[in-house]
């Protein structure tokens, strides 16, 4: 019975840590943020290799419905955009979402009628699985007076 209060405290601290991790914005200094370019998903998906390790904004319209729990703190999914001039055709890009950001990612629309969204991330490559993807960092970028950016969901 003495373990119950200790377990309650551990559970409370764990929940607070997860909450704080979810609320943690990502900050980029002005020099890094000036180099960030925003691309249409259709454009960047054609040659993801050319953008390896690049921090970028990607314009999309909706997320994929499937979300797979691949690693302890990471989830795999996709973002989608209609191909201009081709009715009913879509292009997609694989993405990895951290566990603290999953709830915000799930809030994105899953139907193709959604309006355009810009999502920020870094193109990465997992050599073990030979998997190229966009590691998402957020959806909203706020600049301070010095040009530093804070990216949040």
Does residue 64 belong to any structural domain of this protein? yes
Does residue 17 belong to any structural domain of this protein? no
Does residue 109 belong to any structural domain of this protein? yes
Q: CATH code at 80? A: 2.40.50.140
Please say whether the beta carbons of 117 and 55 come within 8 A. no
Question: Does position 19 have pLDDT exceeding 90, yes or no?
Answer: no
Please say whether the beta carbons of 59 and 118 come within 8 A. yes
**Closest to 94 (Cα-Cα) out of 55, 130, 135:** 135
pLDDT in tens, 72-103: 899 999 999 999 999 889 999 999 999 999 99
Q: 3-state class of 116 per DSSP?
A: coil
Question: For residue 113, what pLDDT is reported?
Answer: 82
Does residue 69 belong to any structural domain of this protein? yes
| Cβ-Cβ contacts under 8 Å for 144 (sequence gap 6 or more) | 150
Structural domain count of the chain: 1
pLDDT in tens, 95-132: 999 999 999 999 999 998 879 999 999 999 999 889 99
| Residue range of the domain that includes 114 | 25-152
**pLDDT band, residue 70 (cuts 50/70/90):** confident
Does residue 80 belong to any structural domain of this protein? yes
DSSP string, 74-103: EEEEEEEEEPTTSTT-EEEEEEEEEGGGHH
């Amino acid at each position: 019975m003495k373990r119950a209060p200790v377990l309650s405290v551990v559970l409370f601290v764990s929940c607070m840590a997860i909450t704080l991790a979810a609320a943690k914005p990502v900050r980029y200094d002005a020099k890094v943020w000036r180099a960030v370019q925003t691309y249409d998903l259709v454009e960047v998906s054609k040659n993801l290799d050319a953008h390896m390790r690049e921090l970028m904004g990607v314009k999309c319209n909706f997320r994929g419905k499937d979300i797979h729990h691949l690693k302890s703190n990471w989830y795999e999914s996709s973002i989608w955009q209609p191909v201009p001039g081709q009715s009913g055709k879509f292009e997609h890009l694989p993405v990895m979402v951290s566990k603290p950001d999953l709830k915000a990612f799930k809030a994105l629309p899953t139907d193709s009628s959604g309006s355009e969204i810009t999502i920020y991330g870094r193109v990465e490559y997992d050599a073990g699985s030979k998997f190229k993807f966009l590691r998402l960092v957020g959806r909203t970028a706020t600049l301070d007076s010095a040009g530093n950016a804070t990216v949040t969901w």
